Amino acid sequence: MKLIKTIIIVALFLSLSTEILGQESSTITVTNPTEMYLKDSFIEIDVKNLSESFSLFNVKEEIPYQIFSDNGKSKLGFVIDLLPGQKMELNLSKQNPNVKKQFPPRTYAELAMKPGNIHIDGKFRGNSFQNVTKIKVPAIHKDHDALFKYEGPGWESEKVGYRFYLDWRNATDIFGKKVNELILNKVGVHDTVAKDDSYHQMQEWGMDIFKVGSTLGIGSIGIMSDGKVNMVSKTDSIYCEIFENGPIRSKIRTNYFGWLVGDKKFNLQADLSITAGSRLTKTELLVDGNPDNIVTGLAKYKGTNFIKSHAEGEWKYIALYGNQTLVNENDKLGIALFYKSSAAISLSEDQINHIVQLKPINGKIEYYFCAAWEQEPEGIKSETEFVNYINQTLHLLNNPIKTQIK
C-alpha cells in the first residue's frame, strides 16, 4: 500500500475506564496494529478522577492533552505519531496543582452573531459580530438575513474548515485552506450585510470551495420520507452550543426540537467534532421519536468520479473526486463519508445527492465525513492519492489503535 505524505487516524473511542490518577503515576501503552505510519493519531480514553493536575510524557517529550466531560463522564484525549506496528509507553503523572497547563490550539469552533437582535426589513442590523457559546436561534431567523457570521457555526483543524447553515437549509459546507493554520476567527468578519461575502472569493488563507445549494452538501442530515430526502428544515426551536473548544478537539452541539417530517415530529441532538491534524468530522446523532431511518450523503455534481469501498469490515465509505469546487472548472476536491455497515439500510441517489440511509440503533447514529482539496499545503493532489487516503482511513476505523492502562 502506497503511503501518502500525511495519514490521519480517525477518532478512537475505547470502553476502558480507570481511576487513572488515584496513584502518583500511570502508564498508558499505545499500540499501532497497522503497517502504516500514523500521524496525529487521536486517542480518547474513559477515565475517572481527572480533577487533579497532571502531565503526559513520551519519555522526555510532553504530549498536549485535553479533558472532555459529558453526561457526568470524563475522558482524556490526545494525539500522537506512531510508526508501523509501534508500541509506545506514555507516562501520566501528577503535578503541582497550581501549575495550569496551556497548550497551543490545533482545533477551533465558533458561533458569531450580531448583538442586539435589531431586525429591520428582513435583515439583522449591526456592523460587527460577537462570539457566543450557546444560543436559542431566533424564530424569525432565515437564510441570508445577516444574523450569523458565515451563516452559522464553523469548526476546523489546521487542514480544513467546515460550517453549516443554522437555518432551514441546515446543510454543511467546506472552507478549503491554502495555509496550515487555524483561520476561522478572521473569516467573514466584515461581511455584515450578507451580500458578496468575502470568503466566496479566493483569500490568502483559501475560500469557501463547495457549492451546496439544496443538496446534502457533505454529511448533512435528513430523513427519507415519501420517497424524498427531508432535511432538518421545519422545527419548533433550535439551540446551538460550542460544546468543546480545545487544543485537541472542538465540538458543536445542536439540539433541534420538533423536527417535522410528514405528520411526525422528532427531537434531534447533533454533535459535530474535529481533532487536531485531521480532515475528518465525526457526526454523532441522538434522535427520539423512533424514526425508521436517518439519511446523510454527498452532493452530486458532474465532473466527479463516484468511489465506493470494497474492503471487508464494519466501516464502509462512499466518496467523490473531481471538479466540484467553486474555484474554477479544473480545481479538484475529494469528499468522503464513512458509515457503519451494521446500520446501513441502503445506498441510493437522486438527481442531486448520493444518499446513505441508516437505521438508528437505540436512537443513535454515528458517521464521519471529510474533504481533501488539492490546494492544501502538501495536500492530496490526485484521485489516486485521495483513494489511498480514504482506504487507509477506512483501515484504521476497522483496526483501531490498542490502548492499555496500568
The CATH number that applies at residue 231 is 2.70.98
Answer yes or no: is 355 within a domain. Answer: yes
Q: DSSP class of residue 352? A: S
Count of beta carbons in the 10 Å neighbourhood of residue 110? 22
User: 391: Cβ–Cβ under 8 A, 6 or more apart, which residues?
Assistant: 1, 309, 311
| Greatest distance between any 2 Cα atoms in the chain | 63
In whole angstroms, how large is the CA radius of gyration of the chain? 21
**Confidence (pLDDT) at 17:** 37
164 inside domain: no
Examine the domain organization and report whether 229 and 89 are in the same domain: no
Three-class secondary structure of residue 328 per DSSP: coil
What angle is formed at CA 3 by the lines to CA 35 and CA 251, rounded to 5 degrees? 85
Number of domain units in the chain: 2
What pLDDT is attached to residue 23?
59
The reported pLDDT for the residue numbered 2 is 38
Residue 405 lies in a domain: no
Per-position b or e across 36-70, b if 16+ CB within 10 A of its CB:
bbbbbbbbbbbbeebeeebbbebeeeebbbbbbee
Q: Which run of H or of E encompasses 371?
A: strand 364-373
Of 76, 97, 118, which residue is a domain's last?
Answer: 97
Looking at the fold, whether 366 and 222 belong to one and the same domain comes out as yes
Instruction: Examine the domain organization and report whether 217 and 86 are in the same domain.
Output: no
Domain shared by 88 and 202, yes or no: no
| CA torsion through residues 26, 107, 398, 362, sign | positive
Q: What is the pLDDT of residue 30?
A: 97
Evaluate whether residue 150 is within a structural domain.
no
The answer to the question of residue 264 being in a domain is yes
- Note whether 224 and 83 are same-domain residues: no
Distance CA 403, CA 406 (A): 10
Give me the pLDDT at residue 9, please: 42
CB 210 within 8 A of CB 371: yes
10 Å Cβ neighbour count for 186?
A: 11
Same domain, yes or no: 228 and 89: no
Do 203 and 92 share a domain, yes or no? no
The torsion angles phi and psi of 203, rounded to 5 degrees, stand at -115, 175
Residues 84 and 210 in one domain: no
What's this model's pTM, rounded to 2 decimal places? 0.94
Task: Judge whether 19 lies within some domain.
Answer: yes
- Based on the fold, state whether residues 240 and 358 are members of the same structural domain: yes
Phi/psi at 384 (5° precision): -60, -45
Q: Which of 97, 124, 140 is the last residue of a domain?
A: 97
Return the bridge partners of 363, or none. none
HSE (CB half, 13 Å, CA atoms) of 114? 23
Instruction: Give the Cα separation of 194 and 101 in Å (integer).
Output: 40
Residue 209 lies in a domain: yes
Pairwise CA distance, residues 107 & 159, whole Å: 10
229 and 342, same domain (yes or no) = yes
Alpha-carbon span 275 to 244, nearest angstrom: 11
Is residue 6, in this structure, part of any structural domain at all?
Answer: no
Domain harbouring 41, CATH code:
2.60.40.1180
Could you give the CA distance from residue 250 to residue 106 in angstroms, rounded to a whole number?
A: 9
pLDDT digits (tens), the chain, 406 positions: 333 334 444 434 333 334 454 557 889 999 999 999 999 999 999 887 665 578 999 999 999 999 998 888 889 999 999 999 999 999 998 877 777 788 999 999 999 999 999 999 999 999 999 999 999 999 999 999 999 999 999 999 999 999 999 999 999 999 999 999 999 999 999 999 999 999 999 999 999 999 999 999 999 999 999 999 999 999 999 999 999 999 999 999 999 999 999 999 999 999 999 999 999 999 999 999 999 999 999 999 999 999 999 999 999 999 999 999 999 999 999 999 999 999 999 999 999 999 999 999 999 999 999 999 999 998 999 999 999 999 999 999 999 999 998 8
Same domain, yes or no, for 90 and 209? no
Long-range CB contacts (within 8 A, 24+) of 214-217: 214/169, 214/352, 215/171, 215/299, 215/300, 215/352, 215/353, 216/171, 216/295, 216/296, 216/297, 216/298, 216/299, 216/353, 216/355, 217/164, 217/171, 217/172, 217/173, 217/298, 217/299
Domain that holds residue 81: 12-97
Residue 395 identity? H
Q: At which residue does the C-alpha cell 500521524 appear?
A: 39
CA distances from 321 to 76, 312, 324, 346 (A): 35, 22, 8, 22
Domain boundary among 97, 124, 147: 97
> Cα-flanking dihedrals φ and ψ of residue 85, to 5°?
70, 10
